[in-house]
Structures are given as C-alpha cells and as structure tokens.
Amino acid sequence: MRELTIQKNDAGQRLDKFLTKALCNIPPSLMYKAIRKKKIKLNRRRAEGKEILSEGDTLQLFLSEEFFPDAEGSEEIAALGRIQPKLSVVYEDENVLLLNKRPGVLVHEDGDGTGDTLIRHVQAYLYQKGEYAPEEEQSFAPALCNRIDRNTGGIVIAAKNAEALRILNEKIKAGEVHKYYLCAVHGVPRPKKALLSGWLIKNKKDNTVKVYDRDPGHGAKDIRTQYTVIAEKNGDALLEINLLTGRTHQIRAHMAHVGHPLWGDGKYGVNREDRARGYKFQALYAYRLAFDFKGESGALAYLAGKSFSVPREDVYFAEEFF
C-alpha cells in the first residue's frame, strides 16, 4: 500500500483525473476497476472517483508497484537541466509567462515525436530557475493555455501552477481573454472595417477547413472574424484581426473566402510569388493579448484590464507597410 498526500498543485481536480496523471502507468480500465474494488481510498474511506480533491487529503492506494512512476522520470528530469531554453519573454510573474513564439516553432510534441518544443523549453527554463521541481510534483507540470499553429507567430500563455492554469482555461473558455492578430493580405478589403460571419467545417483527413456563408449542416461551427485595415501598400493591406471565435485556421480560411488570402499561405491561397519574396509562412501574428476578466478571477485578479503586445519589429511582415 502506498499513501499520497494531495499538494497545492493537485487540489481542485477530480480524483480520477488526478490518478490518470499521478499513476501514468495504469490503464484507465484498471484504475476504475480498482476504485470499484475499494483498492483506492480517499482519507481512508471508500472513493467514487468524482470527488474534488483538497490540499492535505490523503489517498490510500492498494495497487501493484508497477503502476507507480518511481524512477521512470529521472532521465527526463535530468534532460531539463541540459536544455538551453530559447524563449522570448513578453511578461512574467509568479503565476504566468507570456511568450513570443516565433514562426516555425512547435508548441507541443507532434506525431513525429519532435521534442524541441515551446513547452519543453518553458519547463526547462522554470526548472533551471528553481520554480519547477518535477520530482516533487504528483500531477502537475507547467502547461500552455493556448495554442498557435507551428507556422504562425505570437503570444502564448504558460501557467506556472495549477491554480493559474485552471483560472486561465476558464477565462479563455468564457471569452474573457481576447487575442488580436496582425496579418498581411492580398488586396484591400472593403469596407475597411467589418465583422465577418460564416460557418466552418474541418476536414480532418487533410487538416483543412472550408468556410460557408450559410450553415451547411454536417456539424459546421459558426465563426466570427472582425478585421480592420490599418495600412495599405501596393494594392495589399495590413489588417488587425479580433478573433471572436477561435476555430481551426479561421483567420486564414475566412479571409481567403472573402477574396483576400494571407501572404505566404499555400493552403488557402496561391503563394508561389510570396515564397519568391521570402514568405515561407503565412503572414499572421498574434501580436496582442488582453485580459478582460469578469467576476471572480482568484489569484490572477491583478491581470484584469491589462493587455500585452509584442514589439512591432517582431512582426516581420508589418515593416513592409511602414
């Protein structure tokens, strides 16, 4: 029998969710069977799996030793000390990191097993600063709260602790974290400011989406994309986009749908000439982030009303318009 004590970063989650992280070697079916057979107890009482854990709770685990991750992570922890973190920090405090992700950088490991990712560099950075001790954690690791496509640049939020991660995920889901993008498009949209509405269907086989003006059914999701023309040059335009719904490839597909594909976007436009000009990625950058918190925001209340931007010179395509 092993006994685990719930720590601060473990609290606030369901017991079964905690167990899937803390006992990474146990199949879910066996875990739930162990709960039913009373081999997993919470505070020495029968557990159901749906209880919300509090700091200081104890778990009694009558399980085989093979399910406990004792020495498995030692090499992975050592690897964090060998990485030379490459991060461009926009803002940092004891709870969060705002990072300027460059185009071409992968945020999470992909299907090819690429390990040189933004989250890996974040964890190494915090480990080497002494702010993350993986050997002491049971279910938490610093995590990213939002994703940006590999070939898009912009601000990514990383949570340093479980409470910050929970709050940010809730606020993002509630639409209280606003993301603003800059993009360069072919042609100049008319009018110069508009709210575009439509419907989007994702094709998982080729990882593309298609936009429709009316709901075509088949699980289509509504999209809203607000744009403002902020500069024009040689018949093209630099836009600010307020992403009101965050669907896959929404900006790229929606702007192409209305006749203004992004520079360098070979998936939703023809970018042969753009590549010749040096634009091998779509000209899209999540350059500004605003925290518009409403109601309770706990440990992150101090972020309410604040916004953060990357320097304009980091938006590599914007300089062509000024």
pLDDT at position 74 is 74
| pLDDT tens digits for range 30-85 | 999 999 999 999 999 999 999 999 999 999 999 998 888 765 567 888 899 999 99
**Amino acid, single-letter form, for residue 303:** L
What number of other Cβ atoms are within 10 A of residue 197's Cβ? Answer: 14
pLDDT at position 24 is 81
pLDDT above 90 coverage of the chain, percent = 84
User: Is 178-321 the same fold as 2-67?
Assistant: no
CATH class of 178-321: alpha beta
> Which helix (H) or strand (E) covers residue 168, if one does?
helix 162-173
pLDDT at position 69 is 74
Q: Averaged over 207-219, what is the pLDDT?
A: 95
Backbone angles phi, psi at 272, to 5 degrees: -60, -50
Q: Averaged over 279-305, what is the pLDDT?
A: 95
Q: Which CATH architecture has domain 74-172?
A: 2-Layer Sandwich (3.30)
Q: Where residue 113 falls among pLDDT bands split at 50, 70, 90?
A: low
Give the residue among 265, 240, 249 at the shortest CA–CA distance from 178. 240
DSSP 52: B
| pLDDT tens digits for range 226-261 | 999 999 999 999 999 999 998 999 999 999 999 999
Q: Where residue 111 falls among pLDDT bands split at 50, 70, 90?
A: low
CATH superfamily of 2-67: RNA-binding S4 domain (3.10.290.10)
Establish how many alpha carbons lie within 13 A of residue 249's alpha carbon, considering only the half-sphere containing its beta carbon: 24
pLDDT tops 60 at residue 307 = yes
CA–CA separation, 15 vs 54, rounded Å? 10
What number of other Cβ atoms are within 10 A of residue 167's Cβ? Answer: 22
User: What is the SS3 assignment for 79?
Assistant: helix
pLDDT tops 90 at residue 312 = no
Sheet holding 40-42, edge to edge: 2-5, 58-61, 40-42, 45-46
